[in-house]
Amino acid sequence: MENIKDLFPCHIDSPEAMLSLGARIGALLKKGDILALIGDLGAGKTHLTQGVAKHFSYTGAVTSPTFNLIHEYSDTPLIHTDFYRLDKPEELLQIGWEDYLEREAILIIEWADRFPELIPPGSHWIKIQHQDTGRSLQYAHH
């Protein structure tokens, strides 16, 4: 059985390839897993999430939850969150972060490195970096 770590490091040269990688990751995730994404604006965090959602046959729009903070995708086990606009960990705790961690769902976090102390051990950390020819992705250890 393939492991998420086995997919990295890798180079992605198009949005379609990022979607495909997301679908491969989605096939390896199970309820209770956390996918912590790190990367600058426009790195491809949301595209990767779209690919994961595609694996679960979600056909609606998958957009970054920058302003809503959390999106739940109906008929999938996915919860998608974004720490970008948060200034303090207390803000996340006020919206019930601990409750989301206990749900029987796959939790995908954009900008996870803003509050790494709130991400449980055993989470899958993926770092996405811009390169001239696309994106470089690495499995990061936290």
Check if the beta carbon of residue 78 is closer than 8 Å to that of residue 58: yes
Question: Is 123's pLDDT higher than 90?
Answer: yes
1 located within any domain: no
Angstrom distance (rounded) from CA 141 to CA 129 = 15
21 located within any domain: yes
26 located within any domain: yes
Tokens standing for residue 57: 């046959």
* Secondary structure E strands in 46-118: 70-72, 78-82, 106-110
The predicted-structure confidence for 28-72, as pLDDT tens digits, reads as follows 999 999 999 999 999 999 999 999 999 998 888 888 776 677 878
Provide the pLDDT for residue 142. 66
**pTM, to two decimals:** 0.91
Residue type, 83: F
Number of folded domains that form the chain: 1
Residue type, 102: E
Range of the domain at 95: 14-140
The predicted-structure confidence for 62-105, as pLDDT tens digits, reads as follows 887 766 778 788 788 899 999 998 899 999 888 888 999 999 89
**CATH code, domain carrying 81:** 3.40.50.300
How is the beta sheet containing 106-110 ordered, strand by strand?
10-12, 134-140, 124-131, 34-39, 106-110, 78-82, 70-72
